Amino acid sequence: MRSPEDIIIKPFITEKSNMEIGSGKYTFIVDVRATKTEIKMAVEKLFQVKVIQVNTINYAGKMKRMGVHQGPRPNWKKAIVKIDLDPKPVSYLTKGGKEVANNKKYKTSIEEFGVAQ
């Protein structure tokens, strides 16, 4: 299993991604082979937030030239991660009918994203 640092490469900061932060959507450039489940677990582990939804987009690298030499840029993948802005403790019933609450502490934002809200 890969580490979360190998899956999430860097944040993807644009005007549109900055506007979506208010609704709890953060955009990252991720490893091309990463699955949505791996991205969700990596974000939850790195930033201690509760992830609700992950959307991914694959981009093909463009052809670029430098002088007479021409070659492709690498393919890349973008992930838009929606986090829970109001995380509540999860409760469930055990075999004996006893209710148990999971009291994990989740943050409501990702401060390390590199932008001020």
Q: Is 74 exposed, middle or buried (0-12, 13-18, 19+ CB in 10 A)?
A: exposed
pLDDT per residue over 74-104, tens digit each? 999 999 999 988 877 767 777 777 777 777 7
Per the rule left: phi > 0, alpha: psi between -120 and 50, beta: everything else, 27 is beta
Number of domains in the chain: 1
Task: Report yes or no on 45 lying in a domain.
Answer: yes
pLDDT per residue over 53-70, tens digit each? 999 999 999 999 999 999
Q: How much is the pTM?
A: 0.82
CATH number at residue 12: 3.30.70.330
